[in-house]
Amino acid sequence: MPVSVSFDPRAASPEERLAVGELLCACHASAHPEDPPHRPEREAQGLLPAQPNRQSWHWVTWEGPRALAHAQLSGSLTENRGVAYARVLVHPEARRRGLGQQLAQAVQAHAAEQGRTTLLCSTTSLVPAGAAFARALDARTVQERRQSQLLLDEVDEGLLQRWTESAQTPTYRLHHWERAVPENYVERYAELLGVINDAPKGDIDLEDETYTPAHIRAWEKEIAEQGERLFMLVVEDVRSGELVGLTETVWSPERPSLVYQMATAVRANARGQGLGQWLKAAMLLHLRGRAPGARFVRTGNAEGNAAMLAINTALGFRPWAAVTQWKWASSPEASA
């Protein structure tokens, strides 16, 4: 009979972490059968703590040595201390047995104990059962997001050239960084990342996140341990040395066809000059020489982020999946 218990990845044996990694790979393959497969050992490594000032709790449902379901609760130790992010995954072969509901109850109870009264989780249209599960938890929708995909062979070459040429002026310098932010820029890069807080948050009351060099170094280390490469393009205002725009992508030689577009941001006082278009176009050109075998780029944006969606649509990104973010309470009192 399956048994659900709390799970500490740091104290677990390599075999136990690998079993959870195999579960995560099976869930991903079920949702994204056309994607290059994930590797269990990489997923197992990803269970270990990475970011400073952040805490995670895990639960696993075991049937002998096999992991049938996994839940994770995570939250910041410095900001939004009443908020936590939850994820519940059940092996495709073990669904409709109440395992997800059992883990969700454990997550909810633990969140209440930690004083995290607001739980956030996401579902994708690629797994319709996820939305039904969220509604069964009495969760409500707080934001709709769009995952978009770009086929690199279909990119308009003329558009890339126009966007990269039109924004170039003596005022701005474009930096190309790989794997790590140079030490003499890391403080400025951390400060620039705060612009991400400008992105639409939906119907969620969240404090702004603070980014530090320690966060950046931990993220770089996490990406490297996953066998992935981080590419960054950054715009510097040469008059002041201030960094005013960035875009990031992650690519894995082990799964070369897929590139993940991460953050793209431009400071409010530098917008309206085509810097976002320049960054996105320059990144697509940069990937050709640095990501052999890449065939498509995937990214996600809030439906309310009209400016970034317009840039992506002009580049040829097309809707690939709809992602819904849900909010549910850790206790009946919190939802009253």
Specify the CATH number for the domain of residue 94.
Answer: 3.40.630.30
Q: Where residue 329 falls among pLDDT bands split at 50, 70, 90?
A: confident
Tally of structural domains, the chain: 2
Residues 120 and 327: beta-carbon distance below 8 Å: yes
Does residue 274 sit in the same domain as residue 193? Answer: yes
Does residue 32 sit in the same domain as residue 99? Answer: yes
Does residue 186 sit in the same domain as residue 288? Answer: yes
With respect to residue 55, please indicate whether it lies within any of the assigned structural domains.
Answer: yes
Give the SS3 label for residue 269: helix
Whether the predicted model's global pTM rises above the 0.75 cut:
yes
Mean pLDDT of 224-244: 96
Mean pLDDT of 83-92: 96
Does residue 99 sit in the same domain as residue 161? Answer: no
Structure confidence by residue, pLDDT tens digits, 94-114: 999 999 999 999 999 999 999
Does residue 185 sit in the same domain as residue 314? Answer: yes
Q: Where residue 331 falls among pLDDT bands split at 50, 70, 90?
A: low
Last residue of a domain, one of 116, 136, 158: 116
Q: What is the pLDDT of residue 28?
A: 96
Does residue 189 sit in the same domain as residue 281? Answer: yes
Query: Alpha-carbon distance 137 to 127, whole Å?
Result: 17
Read off the amino acid at residue 197.
N
Does residue 257 sit in the same domain as residue 310? Answer: yes
DSSP 8-class letter at 303:
T
With respect to residue 334, please indicate whether it lies within any of the assigned structural domains.
Answer: no
Q: What is the pLDDT of residue 160?
A: 96
Structure confidence by residue, pLDDT tens digits, 173-209: 999 999 999 999 999 999 999 999 999 888 888 999 9
Q: What is the pLDDT of residue 18?
A: 98
**In which residue are the tokens 């970034």 written?**
308
With respect to residue 13, please indicate whether it lies within any of the assigned structural domains.
Answer: yes
Last residue of a domain, one of 75, 99, 116: 116
Last residue of a domain, one of 62, 94, 116: 116
163: containing domain: 148-322
Does residue 76 sit in the same domain as residue 182? Answer: no
With respect to residue 123, please indicate whether it lies within any of the assigned structural domains.
Answer: no
With respect to residue 19, please indicate whether it lies within any of the assigned structural domains.
Answer: yes
Residues 56 and 72: beta-carbon distance below 8 Å: yes
Beta strands 118-124; 83-90: pairing state: parallel
Does residue 203 sit in the same domain as residue 271? Answer: yes
Q: What is the pLDDT of residue 146?
A: 97
pLDDT at position 334 over 50 = no
pLDDT at position 335 over 60 = no
Does residue 290 sit in the same domain as residue 200? Answer: yes
Structure confidence by residue, pLDDT tens digits, 106-161: 999 999 999 999 999 999 999 999 999 999 999 999 999 999 999 999 999 999 99
pLDDT at position 168 over 90 = no
Beta strands 243-251; 229-237: pairing state: antiparallel
Residues 18 and 44: beta-carbon distance below 8 Å: yes
With respect to residue 306, please indicate whether it lies within any of the assigned structural domains.
Answer: yes
Residues 123 and 133: beta-carbon distance below 8 Å: yes
Query: Alpha-carbon distance 19 to 62, whole Å?
Result: 9
